[in-house]
Structure 1
Amino acid sequence: MTLIEIKDALSRAQKGILQYTELMRLFAMVDVSDDAKFQRAYNAFYRVQRRQESWYRGYYSLMQSLKGKNSTFSDILDEIYRLTGRYEPSFASKLLATIDPSKPVWDRFVLENSGHKAPSYSHKEKFELAKKVYASLEKWYSEFVDSADGQNCIAEFDRTVVSDFCFTDVKKVDFILWQTRK
């Protein structure tokens, strides 16, 4: 990734970075299972839409119950399915990354830019495949953050983003990958 591509991605990410900062400040202060301001901010940032009320209730109750706990993508993916009847790898990762910002987000641009591919929603083993993809994504981030390209991304994020909020290295790279379009 070139410096120009990194700067371009960070320029496009500025609004999202501000939204994320506010979202995470709210997360630390409120009961997310019933705080409408947090839920609106989360829904706007992660583009959660067109879900039934029972989905939102289950999702945010799960998020609140997992605050401060060590959770895994696999457990969250399974629990969302149990609560909602839906296969939601993207939203499982977003919940996990909210309770543990050192975890990556499953997003089509992040997957593409990290060389990963989501399993088909119709695949009979999609849950197990998604868990393997996420584990591979975590490994990729771990290696990328330590690489020269990863360090360039992190350094440029630190130069560009003026904030008193503490971003993890994974989140810094995440914002850049999220806004890198091929």
Structure 2
Amino acid sequence: MGGAIADNVADLAGALPVLMPAASDLLARRRPGPIELYLDLADSGSRLDLASPAAADFQRKFNGFYGVRRNAAWRSVFYATFEAAKQRGPDPAALFRWALAAVERETGRVEASFVSKLVATLRPEAPVLDSVIREFLAARMPAPRFGAGSEEAVTYYDWLQEVMTALSQTTAARAWCDQFDAQFAAVAGASSIHPVKKLDFLIWAGGRP
């Protein structure tokens, strides 16, 4: 990890405890429960053919969880790419680049956010490109430009993966993971969620305006 990023991550970790009360409250009261829904998507996404009619319920839940609002033709391409992505290698960054290019080739759209959520469903250690997380990070550290095309999306994603992985290893993030595990001890599988995803839940739920 570069020295500048390391310094910024250390400062960023200091902002995490402030998010914990709001995140804990929102994750507990939101319905459907985000933790349960995330675990359900991860499980059914690995078992089903995501491009088949049998995955209609998965697609409906994924669309709702991540705010997918695209037409049927786009969704057909996206979920075919989703299923094909299962046969790719384990590296999240390489999978992101491949899926981003595949969706753009078929739809003409650079769908960095939705593709990151595809990747994070199949690779639990992968970060999510979410507007709340991007705004939280941008307010506290220098970030690459985002939003103008696929090359910038890849650059941003690689940077985000480095930052979120490093941030998940800080004392503050570990304290959140401990709190998360205790709060959701009754949810089967919650404690096994990857620290990067637990951190994603913290910033998404605690950093919302």
Whether the 8 Å contact between 1:111 and 1:117 is mirrored in structure 2 is no
Identity of aligned residues (%): 28
Matched, 1:67 2:81: no
Which residue in the other structure is 1:26 paired with?
A: 44
- Deviation string 1:81-106 (CA, Å, 9 cap, x unpaired) is 01211111101101111111110000
Shift of 1:127: 1.5
Q: Quick one: which amino acid aligns to residue 164 of structure 1?
A: A
Give the counterpart of 1:46 among 63, 66, 70. Answer: 66
Unaligned ranges ≥5, structure 2: 1-14
| TM score, norm. by length of structure 2 | 0.78
Q: Which runs of 4+ in 1 moved over 6 A?
A: none
Which residue in the other structure is 1:58 paired with?
A: 77
Shift of 1:4: 5.5
Which residue in the other structure is 2:208 paired with?
A: 181
Which residue in the other structure is 2:99 paired with?
A: 76
Shift of 1:119: 2.1
Pairwise mapping of residues 66-105 of structure 1 onto structure 2 (< 5 A)?
A: 66-70=85-89, 71-105=94-128
Shift of 1:144: 0.4
Greater Cα offset, 105-114 or 3-12? 3-12
Summarize the Cα distance change of 1:103–1:2 in structure 2 as closer, same or farther, 3 Å threshold: closer
CA distance in 1, matches of 2:117, 2:100: 11
CA distance in 2, matches of 1:132, 1:38: 30
Matched, 1:147 2:173: no
Q: Secondary structure at the match of 1:87?
A: coil
User: Looking at both structures, which has the greater relative contact order when contacts are Cα pairs under 8 Å and sequence separation is at least 6?
Assistant: 2
Q: Quick one: which amino acid aligns to residue 107 of structure 1?
A: D
RMSD in angstroms over aligned alpha carbons? 1.8
Which residue in the other structure is 2:9 paired with?
A: none
Which residue in the other structure is 1:13 paired with?
A: 27
Summarize the Cα distance change of 1:11–1:69 in structure 2 as closer, same or farther, 3 Å threshold: farther
Pairwise mapping of residues 121-136 of structure 1 onto structure 2 (< 5 A)?
A: 123=148, 126-136=149-159
Name the count of aligned residue pairs: 177
CA distance in 2, matches of 1:40, 1:69: 24
Unaligned ranges ≥5, structure 1: none
Whether the 8 Å contact between 1:145 and 1:169 is mirrored in structure 2 is yes
- Deviation string 1:107-156 (CA, Å, 9 cap, x unpaired) is 00111223346624xx3xx2111111111100101210111222122122
Whether the 8 Å contact between 1:32 and 1:39 is mirrored in structure 2 is yes
Summarize the Cα distance change of 1:174–1:160 in structure 2 as closer, same or farther, 3 Å threshold: same
Whether the 8 Å contact between 2:88 and 2:95 is mirrored in structure 1 is no
Whether the 8 Å contact between 1:94 and 1:105 is mirrored in structure 2 is yes
Summarize the Cα distance change of 1:24–1:62 in structure 2 as closer, same or farther, 3 Å threshold: same
